[in-house]
Amino acid sequence: MSGLVRTAHRVIQTCVKSSGLTGAIVSRTQTPVKRDFTRGIWHMSCSTRMDSTSASTSLLNNHSKTCGCGCGLKALHTKGERELVEFLTEEIVAERKAQKVKTLPTEVDGFTVKADSAEVTLSKQLKDELVTITFNVNHTVDTEDFGEDAQPEKQEFSEMRSKPQFEVDLVRGDTTLGFTCSFLQEPPSTNADEYNDIFGIDEVTLYKGEWSEKVYAVAGDVLDGYLYDLLMNLLEEKGVSNEFVQKLSDFSTAYEHTAYINLLESISKFTIGKQ
């Protein structure tokens, strides 16, 4: 693929992402992305809730009658607390039914998975270097775009996917060649002769020891087109290809969904007073 074609496409993508701001350096920390459609809107649009009524009412009706309001020792004294627990019970049931991946994998395409709350690290040891990929699932979920011709009812039930910004570090000894990458806004072309990457390089840096704000970094959109192509080829050789990045999105989507369900359950327990 010629550098000119790829460079032109990157310029278009930069305009979409930056809204007119060019040459902006991307931080090596996760940039929050606003969720356009919340899960609540998606589920509240459904006409029925499977198993929701019996599940929500049984939770409250099983309390002892020690307190006059019927909460027993659960401290659900307010209307807001009771309604919140009822809704959370329904929401958890619905989310678990919608959950596609019940057990998260411990490996993604040869990369070992290590997770710490919202932070995820994928690592693979090569002959002379360690390849690590880190990302944060917070604020990374959005609905899949069906385009301008999509029917409203299809958009309403569109799949929610996590597409996080991610860091790729190639570590040799105490030196790290680091890349900040993100998913491109537009879907790849189906034409084999056209540019078809699903992710791009936002920033490149090289440093010894620990990274700090003092380390120089260059934005991907100001790189020479041919150099950009060579760096993309390097990432592919290290295992960070289009196919791998798609799998990264699949894992991130499943992981974020699991974290969301866990959060709902924790809020429910907190409201009931059961820690």
Tokens 């929401």: give the residue: 91
**Residue 185: per-residue pLDDT:** 82
* Positive/negative CA dihedral, 237, 119, 259, 159: negative
**Residue 167: per-residue pLDDT:** 97
Residue 243 shares a structural domain with residue 267: no
Closest CA to 233 of 201, 271, 263: 201
Contact between residue 226 and residue 3 where contact means Cβ atoms under 8 Å apart: yes
Dump pLDDT digits (tens) for 162-199: 999 999 999 999 999 999 999 998 755 555 555 689 99
Q: Which domain holds residue 198?
A: 3-36+105-253
Integer CA distances (angstroms), 144 to 22, 37, 162, 164, in order: 26, 10, 10, 14
**Residue 217: per-residue pLDDT:** 96
CATH of the domain at 203: 3.10.280.10
Residue 175 shares a structural domain with residue 81: no
**Cβ atoms within 10 A of the Cβ of 255, count?**
21
Per cent of the chain over pLDDT 70 is 62
**Residue 246: per-residue pLDDT:** 96
**Residue 242: per-residue pLDDT:** 96
Residue 16 shares a structural domain with residue 116: yes
Beta-strand ranges (E) seen in 150-243 are 160-162, 166-172, 175-183, 199-208, 217-219
**Residue 1: per-residue pLDDT:** 46
**Residue 79: per-residue pLDDT:** 86
Residue 234 shares a structural domain with residue 175: yes
Higher pLDDT, 213 or 24: 213
Residue 111 shares a structural domain with residue 214: yes
Residue 93 shares a structural domain with residue 55: yes
Residue 28 shares a structural domain with residue 147: yes
Dump pLDDT digits (tens) for 78-118: 888 889 999 999 999 999 999 889 899 999 999 999 999 99
Domain count, the chain: 2
**Residue 192: per-residue pLDDT:** 55
**Residue 25: per-residue pLDDT:** 41
Higher pLDDT, 242 or 14: 242
